[in-house]
Structure 1
């Protein structure tokens, strides 16, 4: 098994920095995400969906994703309703979300080897930073960035480029570990590598279609890099 994992990413020994995703990767919040999505469905008169359906449909840009879900285009005011309904219900359930299995071990063991790690999430920056601090995780990361602005393509790509630039990190030494295909896209755009964890909001077959290595847990993701 270990040989298979090492063969899945080229030259793992060249990686000296991990950029971690948060939701669905380090944080096990699928149940909160699904409940919040179904609150949106109720708000707009749609039947609830199950997790398998949502993992097959979820994508960025979020606007197009939700327009498909609800079968209608949104005005600016309606899109604000979507975001308000989702955010309020998700935040109510956030205290019930635990870290994914193995997170503390990998966050502790990776820097113990002399390598570094940071956190980049598409969650709002002002929401993310205190949340990480409340969970006692801040000191594990060289930098923590949430979404500070909206972008045209609603992708992590531009944020990842900036996240590495301000830290003066060579993208060739970086792997982004995330849970959706946009994480893989962002890695390609930024010149890094990616490992995708099939524990979040996107099905394994969709992740495998990106061509990036796909694993079941953050522990397996870091095992790829033990070169």
Structure 2
């Protein structure tokens, strides 16, 4: 799909990591699937398991949820869906731990003399205090959640703005995320990507992007030449 042979094995010239949050640094799969099943109950659909959701989840979210529920939304239902999701997810959020190896990975990269920032499609106002409460803010040169509605429901426009605000050359940046939209966003702006299998998308779907796939954030950082230990 993409010409990524230069990073598919190991890439050592990246100087900046843009981290994704949900499913990458934060292990929130149980909260996500519970919220999805709250939506299923709200709209009269049988519950689904995580394996199924990881095989169908995608952006744009609207068409993904229309497929899940087997119909299009009518006036007010999309907001109703979002409200139901957020109520359930927010209840479970305190039980979400950092992904295995995340703390060590966040320490290892700056120790190698490089920089890192955080970019999430979660609400900016909700993301910033959550990261701060976990004592992680100091690891990042910049933290951005979703600050605006993009033309397309993708991270691409947000990533472009995120890098531009820091005056970072995309060619020196690698986005570490857990879904194929992270790969698409990186490709769109001229950055690199490594995808991790810890989140909302099955490995075979991540591999279909042509970008390298790691099983942990520790492995992802190691691929970039920074030892974690």
TM-score, length of structure 1 as denominator length: 0.95
Q: 1:83 to 1:9 in 2, by over 3 A?
A: same
Matches within 5 A, 1:88-107: 88-107=87-106
Could you tell me which residue of structure 1 aligns to residue 36 of structure 2? Answer: 37
- Unaligned runs of 5+ residues in structure 2 are none
Please say if residues 24 and 176 of structure 2, whose CA atoms lie closer than 8 Å, have aligned partners that are also in contact.
yes
Structure 2 match to 1:55: 54
Q: How far apart, CA to CA, are the structure 2 residues paired with 1:32 and 1:197?
A: 18
Deviations 1:192-223 (Å, cap 9, x if unpaired)?
00000011000000000000000100000001
- Structure 1 residues 167-178: aligned runs within 5 Å: 167-178=166-177
The offset of 1:188, in angstroms, is 0.1
Q: Would you say the 8 A contact 2:105–2:218 is kept in 1? A: yes
Contact 2:194 2:211 in 1 (8 A): yes
TM-score for the superposition, normalised by structure 2: 0.94
1:221 is aligned to: 220
Answer whether contact 2:183 2:209 (CA < 8 A) is retained.
yes
Report the number of matched residues. Answer: 222
Asked whether the equivalents of residues 9 and 224 of structure 1 are also in contact (C-alpha less than 8 Å), the reply is no
For 2:75 and 2:122, the matched residues in 1 are separated by 20
> Higher mean Cα deviation, 129-138 or 70-79?
70-79
Q: 1:82 — aligned with what?
A: 81
Match of 2:184 in 1: 185
Q: Is 1:128 aligned to residue 138 of structure 2? A: no
Give, in angstroms, the shift of residue 7 of structure 1: 7.7
Give 1:14 shift: 1.2
CA shift for structure 1 position 114: 1.0
Over the aligned positions, Cα root-mean-square deviation in angstroms equals 1.4
- Deviation of 1:76 after TM superposition, in Å, equals 3.9
1:165 aligns with 2:164: yes
Separation (CA, whole Å) in 2 of partners of 1:137 and 1:154: 27
Alignment-derived partner of residue 27 in structure 1:
26
Partner SS for 2:175: strand
- Structure 1 moving runs of 4+ over 4 Å: none
Q: Which moved more, 1:148-157 or 1:79-88?
A: 148-157
Rounded Cα–Cα distance in structure 2 between residues aligned with 1:182 and 1:11: 21
* Aligned 8 A contact 2:109 2:115 in 1: yes
Q: Secondary structure, in 3 states, of the residue corresponding to 1:14? A: coil
Q: Would the aligned equivalents of 1:28 and 1:200 in 2 still touch at CA under 8 Å?
A: yes
CA distance in structure 1 between the aligned counterparts of 2:97 and 2:10, rounded to whole angstroms: 33
Shift of 1:102: 0.5
Query: Which residue number in structure 1 is paired with residue 151 of structure 2?
Result: 152
Q: 1:11 to 1:196 in 2, by over 3 A?
A: closer
Post-superposition offset of 1:109: 1.2
What displacement does 1:11 show? 6.4
